[in-house]
């Protein structure tokens, strides 16, 4: 069964964007808050270092690169955990009771 897409308007850094999604409104709100928080954090870090404003597009690109790096790191960690758990399961299975 295909989930129905809903039209919502999200606000990121004060700008409104229309969006069609099948995610529930609570999840959409969590994502929007996460993105706004990350953009604000990055803006503060860059602003403190350079004492100048950074364009929104540059800020979004930097945040996107940071988030993508974190995702890839988590994927790698999950892969390592999966390999380790499979090894442990194999060890457990080979033990005679």
Residue 78 inside a domain? The answer is: yes
Residue 1 inside a domain? The answer is: no
Q: Please report which confidence band the pLDDT of residue 48 belongs to, taking 50, 70 and 90 as the band edges.
A: low
Does pLDDT of 10 surpass 70?
A: yes
List Cβ neighbours of 7 (8 Å cut-off, separation of 6 or more).
Answer: 18, 19, 20
Rg (CA), the chain: 21
Q: CA dist 16 to 4, 8, 33, 53, Å?
A: 22, 10, 14, 21
pLDDT digit string, tens, across residues 51-78: 566 688 888 899 999 999 999 999 999 9
Residue 74 inside a domain? The answer is: yes
What are the structure tokens assigned to 42, written together? 């990055």
Total residues belonging to the chain = 97
The boundaries of the domain holding residue 77 are 6-94
Does this model's pTM top 0.95? My answer is no
Does pLDDT of 1 surpass 80?
A: no
Q: Please report which confidence band the pLDDT of residue 86 belongs to, taking 50, 70 and 90 as the band edges.
A: very high
Please state the domain count of the chain. 1
């Amino acid at each position: 069964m295909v989930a129905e897409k809903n039209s919502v308007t999200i606000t990121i850094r004060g700008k409104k964007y229309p969006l069609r999604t099948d995610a529930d409104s609570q999840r959409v709100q969590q994502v929007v808050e996460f993105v706004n928080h990350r953009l604000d954090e990055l803006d503060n870090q860059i602003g403190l270092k350079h004492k100048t404003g950074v364009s929104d597009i540059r800020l979004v690109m930097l945040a996107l690169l940071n988030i993508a790096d974190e995702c890839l790191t988590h994927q790698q960690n999950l892969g390592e955990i999966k390999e380790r758990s499979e090894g442990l399961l194999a060890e457990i299975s080979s033990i005679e009771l």
